Amino acid sequence: MTDDKSDDRRERDSLYAKRRRAYRDAKATQVIGASGKQGAKGRPQMPDQVLLYGLHTVRAALDNPDRAILRMLATRNALSRLDITDQQSLPFPVELVAPKAIDKLLSTDAIHQGVLIEAKPLSPLPISQLADSPLLLVLDQITDPHNVGAIMRSAVALGAGAIITTMRHSPQESGVLAKSASGALELISHIQVVNLAEAIEELNELGFVTIGLDSEGSEQLEDTFSGRRIALVLGAEGKGLRQKTRQTVKALARLELPGAIKSLNVSNAAAISLYTARKFLDT
């Protein structure tokens, strides 16, 4: 009988071996904790390095061949829980530390579970590389990384092919975002655009039914579905969708809520909307 755990270890060892040479070229040469900078015309640039922490987050990063990891700080217990029995087999430096050493590098409320990695950020994709996903999520200036991370988790769980965000007024990749996503950051394509209205127009041309979620939408969400490609567009809590976004989507729809409260946290609204759209696409 095959030992599934041994098979998993062999697969991981093979993955690490394939990535070893690339990681050696990317060994850490900068101080841990590099931050993002403002680029031309005030556009934020991606940070040179990001700090990712927590068992689920780090495990997902280790299993992602597109993630360049520069080094790891970990307790012996965390390495054991990550099923890493031979730290020398990893293609990047590993430093055994006490939890307090990681505490010093993170905010006081960060739950790191004894492990932190310094890594290169993932490269955002252009819309032209969307492949053939039937379900997308578009976020109109949702700035809270906790919300965006939770939305990513729901998007992966419900089979969305990508999340589209704006270059500005959206959270950059970070430990907080990754921890909130609980591994989903490594599993979904992330597309960043300068002009969201133009991106929605492009999606319209690609055959997506673009549907903006609005508590005062004239139609129920289920009634706006058609075709085999759907892009759900959600705005930030409070201000909702911007006017230009509302004018560009093909439909404005509401979630019909039977209770006394008629609005939801944006991450909850995203999960319900994705579930409803997935049920339609699967029929």
Q: Let me know: does 133 contact 203? Beta carbons within 8 Å.
A: no
Q: Quick one: 104 and 147 in the same domain?
A: no
pLDDT one-digit tens code per residue, 203-216: 999 999 999 999 88
Q: How far apart are CA 201 and CA 248, in angstroms?
A: 7
Q: How far apart are CA 247 and CA 59, in angstroms?
A: 41
Give the residue, 5 or 101, on which the prediction is more confident.
101
Give the residue, 212 or 2, on which the prediction is more confident.
212
Residues belonging to the chain: 283
Give percent of the chain with pLDDT exceeding 70: 83
Q: How many Å is the Cα radius of gyration of the chain? A: 20
Residue 42 has pLDDT above 60, yes or no: no
Predicted pLDDT of residue 43 = 47
Q: Quick one: 109 and 76 in the same domain?
A: yes
Q: Quick one: 131 and 93 in the same domain?
A: no
Nearest Cα to 275, choosing from 226, 221, 237?
A: 221
Structure tokens, 190: 């992330």
pLDDT one-digit tens code per residue, 61-79: 999 999 999 999 999 999 9
Indicate the average pLDDT of the chain: 86
Residue 154 has pLDDT above 50, yes or no: yes
Q: Quick one: 245 and 206 in the same domain?
A: yes
What is the mean predicted confidence (pLDDT) over 18-22?
50
Residue 117 has pLDDT above 90, yes or no: yes
The gap from C-alpha 49 to its chain's centroid, in whole angstroms, comes to 16
Predicted pLDDT of residue 38 = 42
CATH at residue 217: 3.40.1280.10
What is the mean predicted confidence (pLDDT) over 113-120?
96
Q: How many domains would you assign to the chain?
A: 2
Q: Quick one: 165 and 269 in the same domain?
A: yes
Match 């127009």 to its residue by tokens.
201
Examine the fold and report which residue of 93, 119, 145 is the final residue of a domain before the chain moves on: 119
Residue 22 has pLDDT above 50, yes or no: no
How many Cβ atoms are within 10 Å of 118's Cβ, its own excluded? 22
Residue 162 has pLDDT above 90, yes or no: yes
Q: Quick one: 133 and 96 in the same domain?
A: no
Q: Quick one: 60 and 105 in the same domain?
A: yes
Residue 19 has pLDDT above 70, yes or no: no
Q: Quick one: 137 and 250 in the same domain?
A: yes
Predicted pLDDT of residue 14 = 60
Match 């270890």 to its residue by tokens.
9
Q: Quick one: 99 and 155 in the same domain?
A: no
Q: What are phi and psi of 9, to 5 degrees?
A: -65, -40
Residue 40 has pLDDT above 50, yes or no: no
Q: Quick one: 132 and 242 in the same domain?
A: yes
Residue 131 has pLDDT above 70, yes or no: no
Q: Quick one: 150 and 262 in the same domain?
A: yes
Q: How far apart are CA 206 and CA 229, in angstroms?
A: 9
Predicted pLDDT of residue 127 = 82
pLDDT one-digit tens code per residue, 231-274: 999 998 888 999 999 999 999 999 988 888 878 899 999 999 99
Give percent of the chain with pLDDT exceeding 90: 66
Nearest Cα to 144, choosing from 168, 121, 169?
A: 169
Q: What is the CA angle 53-56-60, rounded to 5?
A: 95
Q: Quick one: 108 and 149 in the same domain?
A: no
What is the mean predicted confidence (pLDDT) over 133-148?
95
What is the mean predicted confidence (pLDDT) over 222-235?
96
Q: How far apart are CA 225 and CA 241, in angstroms?
A: 19
Examine the fold and report which residue of 60, 91, 119 is the final residue of a domain before the chain moves on: 119
Give the residue, 130 or 43, on which the prediction is more confident.
130
Predicted pLDDT of residue 133 = 86
Structure tokens, 69: 């990891």
pTM of the complete model beyond 0.85: no
Predicted pLDDT of residue 45 = 53
- Measured on CA atoms in the order 107, 108, 111, 117, is the torsion positive or negative? positive
What is the mean predicted confidence (pLDDT) over 180-188?
94
Examine the fold and report which residue of 97, 119, 141 is the final residue of a domain before the chain moves on: 119
Predicted pLDDT of residue 110 = 92
What range does the domain containing 37 cover?
Answer: 4-119
